[in-house]
Chains A and B, each alone.
Chain A
């Protein structure tokens, strides 16, 4: 079982429950193979933004704006789907980086918007299959189109990435760059 902690343990600005977030995150971590590993989640409850950042690999340390775990229908309340989505995306990206195929990937804050979105599509597509949910596929496609063009080539590139299980960094950015080249031609 993964050893998950959440900071702060009590919230005063939002109506989050750290122990419930811990349970959701632990379930995701266990299913992704983080058995026995430490996963620390630090939440900035004063921020309604939805940003998150991987600040450490071993142990895993995630810095999360409160808005990333927030229910968009009920402001200040936490949302299970969004929490699982963010934790899953972060942890799968950690796993990608630990493998040989992503050693050439730049640090997260140096990724281009197109490459960041392409990687996210690759991550969410796998999460959707593994956890048997739709992964908000159309939302991801819309984000992908915004970075790669509203074209058949971009949609085909999205489908390749979304359905893939064994891409490495070079293959991923080759698909992304290929789709963008159609727009800029």
Chain B
């Protein structure tokens, strides 16, 4: 079996259609898309339920890719103490994460049914998986488990609040349970980042820089931030539980504000 599996070759059936990051950026309506999603996602928006459905589908494909990414990390690296190797315990953590992500996929499919969404109803973007293809295990862990799983904390908390506000106990509790797993995944990333870069500041800096790149990519148009109007709210409490420092959270919030200001008029 080959290592460092390319995103283009991920197995999907005919229900799924992919959109590249380039195509998304090339859409001349990009500013209008940002405008359309500029308000905090709440049930009282006229299109609130449909936006929640679309976001839930995004979560579903994200879970599929997170499963694929964690699975690759179990396989792509040899067990050992070298720079390109990973400890066996890290693989165990990734195996546990695969178990969680597989469960999240099933939950997301059922939530899609609950909300009236068909599998593949919305386009799939594989940027999440692409971040899980970094050949350096520390950068991969940082990009996936701290940046992307950190985003998952924010998204799940937003959806949990949406379920609470709309009086939907199915959505609220499902999101709450998945949120608890995501906090664990981010904590794994924070712990392994610290352990694998112990005494190697240059590698730590590279990993944190990669995390910033991924965080910036997923702060598109200020979509996620801690301003009241951000569609997805940056969740400070859960991020701190997962090993983020207040300064790191401030930095992500600032990045989001900057990203919003960069949207072309």
B116 partner, pick from A48, A50, A142, beta carbons under 8 A: A142
Interface of chain B residues 20 through 50 with chain A (CB within 8 A): 23-24, 27-29, 32-33, 36, 43-44, 46-50
| Docked pose: A49 CA to B53 CA in angstroms | 15
Closest residue of chain B to A154 (Cβ to Cβ) is: B167
Given known pairs A74-B17, A150-B168, the reply for A140 and B123 (CB within 8 Å) is no
Between A and B, how many residue pairs show CB distances below 8 Å?
Answer: 79
B residues near A183, Cβ cutoff 8 Å: 167
**A136/B29 in contact, CB under 8 A:** no
| Docked pose: A113 CA to B169 CA in angstroms | 21
Closest residue of chain B to A141 (Cβ to Cβ) is: B116
Interface of chain A residues 34 through 88 with chain B (CB within 8 A): 46-51, 66-67, 72-76
B residues near A146, Cβ cutoff 8 Å: 43, 48-49, 166, 168
A residues near B50, Cβ cutoff 8 Å: 50, 139, 143
Given known pairs A13-B29, A48-B33, A113-B44, the reply for A139 and B115 (CB within 8 Å) is yes
**A150/B49 in contact, CB under 8 A:** no
Interface size class of A (residues with CB under 8 A): 20 to 34
Closest residue of chain A to B118 (Cβ to Cβ) is: A136
**A72/B113 in contact, CB under 8 A:** no
Chain B interfacial residues counted at CB < 8 A: 33
| Docked pose: A14 CA to B29 CA in angstroms | 9
| Docked pose: A16 CA to B117 CA in angstroms | 24
With both chains docked as a complex, state the minimum distance between the C-beta of A86 and any C-beta of chain B, in angstroms: 13
| Docked pose: A150 CA to B172 CA in angstroms | 12
**B166/A150 in contact, CB under 8 A:** yes
| Docked pose: A140 CA to B17 CA in angstroms | 24
Tell me if B107 counts as interface (CB < 8 A to partner A): no
Tell me if B248 counts as interface (CB < 8 A to partner A): no
Closest residue of chain B to A70 (Cβ to Cβ) is: B29
**B24/A75 in contact, CB under 8 A:** yes
**A49/B115 in contact, CB under 8 A:** no
**B32/A49 in contact, CB under 8 A:** yes
B residues near A98, Cβ cutoff 8 Å: none
Closest residue of chain A to B120 (Cβ to Cβ) is: A73
| Docked pose: A31 CA to B178 CA in angstroms | 46
| Docked pose: A75 CA to B53 CA in angstroms | 17
Tell me if B218 counts as interface (CB < 8 A to partner A): no
A residues near B251, Cβ cutoff 8 Å: none
B168 partner, pick from A46, A75, A138, A145, beta carbons under 8 A: A145
With both chains docked as a complex, state the minimum distance between the C-beta of B118 and any C-beta of chain A, in angstroms: 8
With both chains docked as a complex, state the minimum distance between the C-beta of B150 and any C-beta of chain A, in angstroms: 26
Return 8 A-B CB contacts under 8 Å, by A number.
Answer: A13-B29, A48-B36, A72-B121, A73-B120, A75-B27, A113-B44, A138-B113, A149-B167
Which chain B residues have a beta carbon within 8 Å of chain A's beta carbons? 17, 19, 23-24, 27-29, 32-33, 36, 43-44, 46-50, 53-54, 113-117, 120-123, 166-170
Which chain A residues have a beta carbon within 8 Å of chain B's beta carbons? 13-14, 46-51, 66-67, 72-76, 113, 116, 136-143, 145-146, 149-150, 183
Other A-B pairs beyond A14-B29, A73-B122, A142-B49, 12, CB < 8 Å = A13-B28, A46-B28, A47-B32, A48-B27, A48-B32, A73-B123, A75-B123, A76-B29, A113-B46, A116-B46, A143-B50, A143-B116
